[in-house]
Structure 1
Amino acid sequence: MKKLTLLFLLIGFTAMAQRPVKNKMPKIILTGKVLETNSKQPLEYATLVLTNTNTQQIVGGVTDASGGFSIDASSGTYTIKVEFIGFKTKNLGNYNLTKNKNLGTIFLSEDTETLEEVEVIAEKSTVEIRLDKKIYNVGKDMTIKGGSASDVLDNVPSVNVDAEGAVSLRGNENVRILIDGKPSALVGLSGTDALRNLPADAIEKVEVITSPSARYDAEGTAGILNIILRKGKIRGFNGSVNLSVGNPDLYQASSNLNYRTKKINLFSNLGYSYRKGPGNAFSDFTYLTDGVIDSLSIEKRKYDRENKNFNGSIGLEYYLNKKSSITGTFFYRNNDGNDIVTNNTNVFNPDNTPKRNVNRVENEIEDGIDTQYSINYTNNIDDKGQKLTIDLQYGESDDNDNSTITNNGVLTEINSQITKSKNRLLQIDYVLPLGEKSQLELGHKADLQDLTSDFKVRDADGNPKEYDPSNAIDFKQYIYAYYAQYGSKIDKFSYLLGLRAEYTDVDLLVLTDNTFSDKNYTQWFPTVNLGYEFSETDNLTLGYARRLRRPRHWFLNPFETRSSDTYVFKGNPDLNPTYTSSFDLGYTTRISKVTLNSSLYYQYSTDLIRPVSRIETREKGNVFVRQFLNLNNESRYGFELTTNYNPAKWARLSATFNYFKFKTDAFDYTYSYTNPDDGSIVTETEFLPEVNSNSWFARFNSRITLPAKIDWQTRIMYRGPQDDAQGSREGIFVTNLAFSKDLFKDKASLVLNVSDLFNERKRKSYTNTSKVVSYQEFQWRERQITLSFTYRFNQKKKRERPDRNGDFNGGEGFNP
């Protein structure tokens, strides 16, 4: 694998070395700003096209969030024009550029005659490179039609979504997920479930932030995934409607509607879905006592899930004047689930003779409601980029779960869990330009969460069981943050330096036994982001960030939850945060029709939070217990390469390869439990050896246009095997196929999508300790076939613009 990594590096640098040397001409910088004529609002992503009148070479760039642009070009005579979707193209004529020039403010007017030829869901370039992040546009990805946010993330380079829906970034599952740059009720109490219920069509793009600047939360040692939702920018009433049906049962309807006038912008995302999600699991346990087999058990689980989900968000942006606006958004989600889990457990003596058999059936009814209210105030104080934004957000989550459990047809247990959460957020950000190439950013954020959880376990008569895992907790986590960052550009060199301070106050009151734990800590998080542009097609970035991972409330709750009589999970109130220092070196180049994005990264973590398994002997036999612990330190480094190749208009290819290696220190794990025979306390020690392992994943994506203008998309993903302190996990291979045909003069599209074509998306893992040897297999969702129909009104398909994969801009709010 080391040779393979070196080979990728040599290919990249050899390609650079073999590129023909161009005649060097003096460089000039072209700056200015693009605004909408009537509202005077900045137009982000407006395109400036510079055509050299002698060589006909084309260079250009796009505007940032404030409408500003800064384009490097060789001196010469150029014709300049400005374009933006839905607006009239503005030709500025010929300019003889021999020195830096500011074009001032350029105003664009909406093109009412061609408004109907505009596409909101545009087929954009694959990636935009910023100083502190990469932006992946969802565009026309057929393999996610009728899918969810989890499907979108699973198609983003550097990101993986496993069989249970857990999201990882470069192999690290501690990734922070934001919606429109902020924590959101869209993620809810259980981020995995919420992402499965958020329609893919509501998502415009995903920002992958592996080296976050100080402006972002320090939470998430792997980095941040920021999901940007669609919000129309075109005047008038327009939108799209999507209908999907599938097998296993799937019925989904969603819409993106937008109405904009001179003073207001009304936007909405609505979606309803009904789906059945069959799944399965298999476990084979061999229990040991002093190295001798004590007993064996085999478990087979079958999941029959039925889910009804409604997502709705509506927002209104009101333009107070030419420079400021206020936006209010309301979000509502109602999720109803009816899940039946059938677990057949067979326990054997050491000689394989039957000991007992239990057929456990759990019928769980879930009802979850999430609401969120948010207000944003934006004031573009002047035309130089000075800007103030204030965000207020209030959200409530209310989850009610009720389940009945039968063993061999007899009702034995009635469970209920009520979880309520209230979240408040205040965020203030201020941007102050300092000259044409520098700016200062300051900000404050308060993120407050209050959560209560009441879990009751009763027997068939409504009485507490002899071994009662019932519990109730009151959890509070208040985070107060302040940050400052300064960015500038000197010729081809850009830098963004920041410092963030976060004070955390965590209180956990276990009401069941009235125990209380309190953790308070203040930490500093420096960030450094550097960039250098070798040419218009080559740039280098270097980032450093200190990050942390705070334990979630279910990690801390000391009581147990069970998926069977022999498999339980319990929290650990003594958990401490994990702190990580991350370094990321990235290089981007474009050679003809090929774009290469590569990076080397290194992470060092202390007090690593990891799940650890153990065996306890209880009244009914051995029980497999899983709990999170702080496992000393870990070093992780890796290499990533992403390529995009468009050999022809009818063929587009992309691939991602990521290799990482990690080393975790050895750890002695001591635990205690009560002996069911005499009530004594049993103390055991499990030695977790040093882990020195590696893994990799690769993804290939192709889009081919067939005759009759039928688009065919194939996506293949392989996630390599991986070892940990107590076992290993096998590799996972997944293939998705999709076919698309545009109808009604490109106003509509019909898409057939097959997710997990070979039905092999399964997590297969092994555990090997002094107490147990096990093999476990889990498949959350079986192969899905979906047919989707999308209709666009006052929108038509707009073909892809010239590729801008080499666009290189500054960080969030910093585009020198």
Structure 2
Amino acid sequence: MKKVLFSLLIMLPFILQAQTSSISTFEISGQLIDKAENETVPYATIKVTTKSEPGKAVKMLATDEKGNFVIHLKASGSYVVDFNSVGKVNIKKTVDLTTEKPKVNLGKIDMPDDTKALGEVTVTAQKQLVKVEIDKLVYSIEDDPEAKTSTTLEMFRKVPMLTVDGEDKIQLKGKSNFKILVNGKPSNMLSNNPSDVLKSMPANSVKSVEVITDPGAKYDAEGVDGIINIITNRNSLDGYTGTIRASASTPGSFGAGGYISMKAGKFGLTGNYNFNGYKSPTTNNYSMRESFIDPENHFLEQTGKNKNKGNHQYATAEASYEIDSLNLLSASFNYFFGNAKNTSYTSVGMYNELRDSVFAYDQQTTSKNDYGGSNLNVDYQRSTKTPNELLTVSYRFSHDPNNSSGISEITPILNYSPRKQNSINDAGTTEHTGQVDYALPIKKVHYIEVGLKYINRASRSKTDLYLYDYATDEWNTLLDNGDKFKHLQHIYSGYSGYAYKGKKFGAKAGLRFEGTTVRVKYEEKPDQDFGTSYFDLIPSASGSYMISQSQTLTGGYNMRIMRPGIWALNPYVNNTDPRNVSFGNPDLDSEKSHRFNLGYSNYSGKYSVNTSVSYSFLNNGIQRYTYVEDGVAYSTYGNIGKRKELSLSLYANWNATSKLRLMMNTFGSYVDLKANNDSGLKNSGVTGGVFANGQYTFPYNIRANVGGGVYSPWIQLQGQGSTNYFYFLGLSKDFLKKKQLTVSLNASNPFTKYINYTNTTSDVNFHQYSKSQYTSRRFTVSVSYRFGELKEQIKKAKRGITNDDTQQSGNSGGGNSGGGGQ
């Protein structure tokens, strides 16, 4: 039954299209040609406005591959049709539609070459919605009329190579190992909870979204699969505008927030604040481990249940001051803070190889985690009379705390002693960064950039462990287990890059150097202090060839490095569960990877296709691994991964009609993974997934969104996870005269209350199986209201600091172009 309902959801847009398709009363058609070249003009941008409101687009589309176009309009009137194409003369036509003459065919319209054009999209009167450059793809959100009534997360669904699933999880070419930046600057909020932040960011505050698949020399040599750079509108109109929003979801989530932008004279300010809370119901879990080399502690079974709750809040503020036409001072502040509480109840039993009981106990654990981050960015930008020549001086301060505590109590059942333990870990990272960038265009087709950067990064961890004494009713400190750890890094880097952008061919090449000195200090064990230093040269190169105005070939090579994060370095021993102990490894080195990429893009008004193939390898990857001793599983990290991967991705979008849009994003990889030590660990196989989405607009501007996806297990060094799937359905509508009020209803996995995820971990000495249950069914109601009016724009620095050189856990993201950090 569930499969039938799921199939009906996926097919709903097609059924609705077949049954409710309506014919527009008014129509303008024709064909764009170049008489001199005796050819058609494909994929030109068409903008339709009314004579009474020339600044407001009522329709935007593109010609097809043969230059043909058909514009459907809802009312009669006098319209201005603006045709634009790269390197062509801009053409405008005035068309009057009446009830007596509802359809007008403009015939063949000549669009000759513009001899004054510079051969770049940026010099034309209006931009294509999708633009492929040498190392990135750009989607122009400000030129999409839907941006006026959408959130940034909703617009992400229209960006090639990006997918947003039913759980609002963002993926780039099917992978979650990416960075998200705003105007070229990192944001702690977007590193921790990108989906929630983007849902609260109105799309009309965003200029464009850049998907950078081949990061150049100006970026930190961080080994991610790509970068997403959100360029916000550099000008907010004089006055103010804002949005307030609220949402509630089953089984127990809620949120509220607001956004405001204002400008007075040369001073501008933008702010955003959001709060979200959640409470999850009790779910079940089970695990079984068999130790092949221990006949006494042979089988370990754990059955339990847990529940959790928490909240997080985040805020941003940006301010700028135009000293004069050539000097700009800007600053931004980002803040994120969250806390989580988890309560678990577990029954533990150990058995020998004959299945006789060795010991048994019940355990109750309550853990708390406070996490977050804040950063302050200050940029001074000096421009000249030469367009795009910029000198930028930047400073960034960031502080990211990550504190945890847990009380665990064991109640013995058989052959075990009672134990009550309280562990407290205070950890975090503080950074100071200084940077200088200089960019110089030469003769409009050449571009040179250089820069220097310094990072002072200090990570710390302090652990206190207490054991309860039942006889004295007191907590006693376990001094031997206490630990104070500091990890200090001084990173200095510089880069130089060159770019050429011709009419058909473009190329980029660069070289980056990075030097790092590392010192690790143990306050209570100074004899274990150590330090090291290393130096890397990181080359990069990419190129593009425009086959036609809609088709582009791209290729590139990158060498990337990844420094371990504090969560992998932290030596804190988490033995809250005495049968499953975890700790970090302060001896970790940076991993180095090499990646080759080849891509093909074809974008038109009706359809969009992007496909790429890539090959990557690394020999010292940071891997989490587990080993078993005396019936206890120990998990930590090491530079033991030797990985080779061949990947293929395909993105396809079809605007079937003005009301129906279908999209698919699929990817697949063959992975060969081995341990570079004598453990004998290895694994290989194919992994991949597919995401499909359909969007349909009903009468009365009611928008429907349905879709789903299936993903196969990831290839891991020790074991394998389970296949997962999701599906969703959503409806939304705008209200009031200017569509300021938006109400949406969404259902995620409406026919599936729980989803079970399994995982296996093994080596030659043990095999472990675990199953966890998650609440998957969710219904959400969201309301947002926009207010205010703007009349002039706020400037901000075009470049800033990007620190993307460390590993991040979870769904992270970022990039840097219109912000150009290093």
- State the TM bucket, normalised to the shorter chain: 0.7 to 0.9
Deviation per CA, 1:649-703, whole angstroms, max 9, x where unpaired?
A: 211111101111122245444xxxxxxxxxxxxxxxx3213x3322111111111
C-alpha distance in 2 between matches for 1:393 and 1:743: 42
Which residue in 2 is equivalent to 1:484? 496
- The answer for the alignment partner of 2:410 in structure 1 is 407
Q: Partner of 1:647 in structure 2?
A: 656
Match of 2:80 in 1: none
State the secondary structure of the residue aligned to 1:186: helix
* In 1, Cα distance between equivalents of 2:715 and 2:600: 30
Structure 2 counterpart of 1:302, from 277, 284, 305: 305
> Are positions 1:72 and 2:86 aligned together?
yes
Out of 372, 388, 396, the residue aligned to residue 391 of structure 2 is 388
Residues 101 and 404 of structure 1: is their aligned pair in 2 closer, same or farther, counting only changes over 3 Å? closer
SS state at 1:687 partner: coil
CA distance in 1, matches of 2:376, 2:405: 28
Shift in alpha-carbon separation, 1:458–1:137, aligned structure 2, 3 A: farther
Q: Secondary structure at the match of 1:462?
A: strand
Is the 2:62–2:605 Cα contact (8 Å) retained in structure 1? no
SS for the counterpart of 1:555 is: helix
What residue in structure 2 maps to residue 687 of structure 1? 680
Contact 2:306 2:345 in 1 (8 A): yes
Q: Report the Cα distance in structure 2 between the residues aligned to 1:278 and 1:693, rounded to whole angstroms.
A: 36
Q: 1:342 to 1:130 in 2, by over 3 A?
A: farther
> Is this contact kept in 2: 1:269–1:312, CA < 8 A?
yes
Distance 1:366 1:220 in 2: 28
The aligned counterpart of 1:201 is 200
Q: Cα–Cα, structure 1 residues 663 and 267, in superposed 2: closer, same or farther, change >3 Å? A: same
Aligned match of 1:345: 348
> Deviations along 1:456-475, whole A, 9 cap, x unmatched?
11112322459x64322111
- Which residue of structure 2 lines up, in the alignment, with residue 444 of structure 1? 452
8 Å CA contact 1:232, 1:267 repeated in 2: no
2:594 to 581, 595, 608: 581
CA RMSD of aligned residues (A): 4.4
Which residue, 721, 732, 741 being the options, matches 1:748? Answer: 741
Kept in 1: contact 2:617–2:645 (CA 8 A): yes
The size of the alignment, in residue pairs, is: 701
- Structure 1 counterpart of 2:623, from 602, 606, 610: 610
* TM superposition shift of 1:747: 1.3
Query: Aligned residue for 1:419?
Result: 427
Cα distance between partner residues in 2 of 1:395 and 1:722: 33
> Residues 513 and 754 (structure 1 numbering): CA distance in 2 closer, same or farther, change over 3 Å?
farther
The CA deviation string for residues 344-391 of structure 1, in whole angstroms up to 9 with x for no partner, is: 333334344444433322223344463322212223322422112222
From 248, 252, 256, the equivalent of 1:249 is 252
Q: Distance in 2 between matches of 1:80 and 1:378?
A: 41
Offset at 1:311?
1.5
Deviates more, 1:169-178 or 1:724-733: 169-178
Give the letter for the 2:606 counterpart: K
Tell me what 2:611 maps to: 598
The residue that corresponds to 1:705 in the other structure is 697
Q: Is the 8 A contact 1:589 1:596 kept in 2?
A: yes
Alpha-carbon distance change, 298 to 536 in structure 1, aligned in 2, over 3 angstroms: same
The residue identity in structure 1 corresponding to 2:86 is D
Partner of 2:787: 793
- 1:415-454 Cα deviation digits (max 9, x unpaired): 2121243211222221101102111111122222112211
Q: Is the 8 A contact 2:163 2:665 kept in 1?
A: no
Q: What pairs up with 1:458-497 in 2 under 5 angstroms?
A: 458-460=466-468, 461-465=474-478, 469-497=481-509
Structure 1 residues 329 and 655: CA distance shift in structure 2, 3 A = same
Distance 2:141 2:577 in 1: 40
2:518 counterpart of 1:506: yes
1:729 aligns to what? 721
What are the residue-to-residue correspondences of 1:805-816 with 2, within 5 Å? Answer: none
Q: Which residue of 2 aligns with 1:5?
A: none
Whole-angstrom distance in 1 between the partners of 2:580 and 2:170: 23
Q: Classify the secondary structure of the residue corresponding to 2:189.
A: coil
Q: 1:44-55 counterparts in 2 under 5 A? A: none
Q: TM-score, normalised by structure 2?
A: 0.75
Q: 2:534 corresponds to which residue?
A: 521
Q: What residue in structure 1 maps to residue 24 of structure 2?
A: none
* Other structure's SS at 1:728 match: coil
Q: Classify the secondary structure of the residue corresponding to 1:752.
A: strand
CA contact (8 A) 1:581 1:604 kept: yes
Instruction: Report the Cα distance in structure 2 between the residues aligned to 1:137 and 1:569, rounded to whole angstroms.
Output: 46
Distance in 1 (alpha carbons) for counterparts of 2:699 and 2:488: 59
CA pair 591-179 structure 1, distance change in 2 beyond 3 A = closer
For 2:230 and 2:397, how far apart are their aligned partners in 1?
19
Structure 2: which amino acid aligns with 1:245?
A
CA contact (8 A) 1:634 1:664 kept: yes
User: In 2, distance between residues paired with 1:56 and 1:162?
Assistant: 34
Whether the 8 Å CA contact 1:211–1:582 is kept in 2: the answer is: no
**Aligned-residue offset at 1:249:** 1.6
1:127-161 alpha-carbon deviations (Å, 9 max, x no partner): 5533222346789999xx99998x99899775789
Residues 282-291 or 604-613, more deviating? 282-291
564, 569, 579: which one aligns with 1:551 = 564
User: Structure 2: how far apart are the matches of 1:160 and 1:293?
Assistant: 50
1:445 to 1:597, Cα distance in 2 relative to 1, 3 A: same
Contact preservation (8 Å) 2:600, 2:610: yes
User: Deviation digits for residues 745-776 of structure 1, max 9, x if unmatched?
Assistant: 31111111223443565542212322222212
**Distance (whole Å) between structure 2 residues aligned to residue 283 and residue 137 of structure 1:** 48
1:116 is aligned to none
Q: 2:646 pairs with 632, 637, 651, which one? A: 637
Distance 1:404 1:137 in 2: 51
Asked if 1:663 corresponds to 2:659, the answer is no
Determine helix, strand or coil for the equivalent of 2:220. coil
Q: How is 1:228-307 mapped onto 2 (pairs within 5 angstroms)?
A: 233-278=236-281, 280=283, 282-290=285-293, 294-307=297-310
Distance 1:395 1:201, change over 3 A: same
In 1, the alpha carbon distance for the partners of 2:681 and 2:134 equals 40
Contact 2:708-2:726 within 8 A present in 1 as well:
yes
Q: Which amino acid aligns with 1:545?
A: N
Percent identity for Structure 1 against Structure 2: 21
Q: Distance in 1 between matches of 2:164 and 2:577?
A: 25
| 1:359 equivalent in structure 2 | 362
- Partner SS state of residue 188, structure 2: coil
What are the within-5 Å matches in structure 2 for residues 52-201 of structure 1? 72-73=86-87, 78-79=91-92, 97=113, 99-101=115-117, 128-135=131-138, 174-186=177-189, 191-192=191-192, 194-195=193-194, 198=197, 200-201=199-200
SS in 1 for 2:568: helix
Structure 1's 146 and 510: CA in aligned 2 closer, same or farther, altered over 3 A?
A: farther
| 1-structure distance, mates of 2:287, 2:360 | 14
* C-alpha distance in 1 between matches for 2:498 and 2:675: 41
With normalisation by structure 1, the TM-score equals 0.76
Structure 2: runs of 5 or more not aligned: 1-31, 42-54, 71-83, 95-109, 413-417, 469-473, 791-815
Tell me how far apart the structure 2 counterparts of residues 373 and 416 of structure 1 sit (CA, whole Å).
29
Contact kept? 1:129, 1:135, Cα under 8 Å: yes
Are the counterparts in 2 of residues 752 and 785 from structure 1 also a CA contact under 8 Å? yes
Partner SS for 2:720? strand
Q: Is the 8 A contact 1:146 1:788 kept in 2?
A: no
Distance 2:118 2:141 in 1: 34
